[in-house]
Structure 1
Amino acid sequence: MADFDHGAGDGKAANAMLAIGELADRIGVPTHVLRYWETRFPQLRPLQRSGRRRYYRAEDVALAERIHHLLHVKGFTVEGARKALSEPNGAARPEPAVVTSPAASPGIPIEALVALRRRLAAALR
């Protein structure tokens, strides 16, 4: 009997590859963000089949989820996330991104702003 990952809710086998749209939906980012991450994180290299269609293996999915966590939950910069991923244990603690927008109120932690952004995005869906 095949091993299925019922946690994802998509009925695919746990080791099945995901198309770029499926991965984007899974982690909640647009497909262009995944393509951008591929240019900034050399470890993220999905298979490209005919028509340059991207297919992400289980290890690519795990890496994309880790990148998303570092950037959108922890508030790391792209460079900080790259450093964290390049550490042997992946547990580096780079500085979170600095909010430089003049509209941002000083003293509000980036985590609170990220959480607010997530809630607003969910409300727009």
Structure 2
Amino acid sequence: MAQFDDGKDDGALRTIGEVSEALDIKPHVLRYWEQQFSLLKPLKRSGGRRYYRSSDIALVERIDRLVNHEGYTLKGAETVLRAEAKSEHDRRLSGERRSGDRRVDAADSAAPGNATERARRLAETLAGLKRVRDRLARALEA
């Protein structure tokens, strides 16, 4: 998680400038990502000033990792994030057994149908299909 050295509480709202500096991501990139990722919705106050919650900052870090370090396209990263959000939502719904029972079965998180794993396999399949398409295009040009 990003480290802020501004004296604010960890859960405090942060401006786009503070997030940009802490994560070393330009403000225009953060604004662009807000357009591309429907899950990224920082609070907006009068005059359009953005305030990022802790969850928004964590999401920006996840987007940065997927796009800039793991090689996902923006659309692929969006797919992964949506699958993770759906998986988390489903886990919460299934966890509402009893108010004190917050456990998640190990089988649920390690199941082959895990949304993150499915998204990863989908991205690999898509990359393979693109390679085949490129080979076919080169063959047709010859």
Class of the TM-score when normalised by the shorter of the 2 chains: 0.5 to 0.7
Q: State the match for 1:115 in structure 2.
A: none
Q: State the match for 2:76 in structure 1.
A: 80
**Secondary structure class of the residue paired with 1:16:** coil
The structure 1 residue matched to 2:26, chosen from 7, 30, 43, is 30
Q: Which has the higher helix share?
A: 2
Partner Cα distance (2:30, 2:19) in 1: 9
Partner Cα distance (1:42, 1:84) in 2: 13
Partner Cα distance (1:12, 1:74) in 2: 31
1:30-63 CA-partner distances (Å, limit 9, x unpaired): 1000000011101100111121100001111111
**Mapped pair 1:16 → 2:12:** yes
Q: State the match for 2:91 in structure 1.
A: none
Partner Cα distance (2:27, 2:15) in 1: 10
1:88-125 CA-partner distances (Å, limit 9, x unpaired): 26623124xx8xxxxxxxxxxxxxxxxxxxxxxxxxxx
Displacement of 1:8: 3.0
Displacement of 1:26: 1.5
Partner Cα distance (1:49, 1:71) in 2: 28
CA RMSD across the alignment: 2.2
* Length-normalised TM-score, structure 2: 0.59
Q: Identity of paired residues, percent?
A: 45
Query: Is the 8 Å Cα contact of residues 24 and 30 (structure 1) preserved in structure 2?
Result: yes
**Secondary structure class of the residue paired with 2:50:** strand
Query: Number of residue pairs matched?
Result: 92
Gaps of at least 5 residues in structure 2 are 89-114, 128-142
Partner Cα distance (1:69, 1:83) in 2: 14
Q: State the match for 1:47 in structure 2.
A: 43
Letter in 2 for 1:62: A
Query: Is the 8 Å Cα contact of residues 27 and 68 (structure 1) preserved in structure 2?
Result: no
